[in-house]
């Protein structure tokens, strides 16, 4: 079994959920997260475009200074970009298809497209029934 963690643009969530459902994996955990990647929180027009037009620029992304920024003088405030994090646990043989499908849906070619992490899972247990491993993730 593998755990696939996907950090994607917020506006790509519906398409990503549909792609996973079409592959037969509708079960997932979804969280709202904030972070920054190689762009260091710099906002480009393409990253800002995923947010509704009705939000004013200051409401879209509020500067969230890091602990380091509070203690040191920085040339600009480090921003954290809002994203969605999806997590699924799947059999080993499904990983490649899921990763390719998520990439196809989320790749725009612009900064902020996201990340995918694949990690091994030693075991799973469904609390309600006591099912273990493969039966617990189905």
Q: What is the pLDDT of residues 13-71, one digit of tens each?
A: 999 999 999 999 999 999 999 888 776 655 544 444 454 554 444 444 455 555 656 66
pLDDT confidence of residue 122: 94
CB 45 within 8 A of CB 126: no
pLDDT confidence of residue 40: 61
Model confidence at 112, pLDDT cuts 50, 70, 90, reads confident
Query: What is the pTM assigned to this prediction?
Result: 0.73
Whether the predicted pLDDT of 137 surpasses 50? yes
- Fold classification of 2-137 is Alpha-Beta Plaits (3.30.70)
DSSP 79: P
CB 85 within 8 A of CB 6: yes
DSSP 50: T
Domains in the chain: boundaries: 2-137
């Amino acid at each position: 079994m593998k755990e696939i963690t996907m950090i994607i643009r917020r506006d790509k969530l519906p398409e990503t959920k549909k792609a996973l459902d079409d592959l037969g994996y509708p079960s997932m955990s979804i969280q709202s997260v904030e972070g920054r990647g190689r762009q260091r929180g710099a906002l480009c027009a393409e990253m800002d475009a995923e947010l509704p037009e009705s939000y004013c620029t200051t409401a879209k992304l509020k500067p969230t200074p890091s602990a380091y920024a509070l203690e040191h003088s920085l040339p600009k405030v480090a921003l954290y970009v809002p994203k969605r994090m999806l997590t699924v646990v799947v059999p080993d043989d499904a990983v490649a298809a899921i990763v390719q499908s998520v990439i196809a849906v989320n790749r725009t070619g612009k900064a902020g497209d996201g990340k995918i992490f694949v990690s091994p899972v030693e075991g799973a247990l469904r609390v309600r029934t006591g099912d273990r491993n493969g039966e617990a993730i189905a």
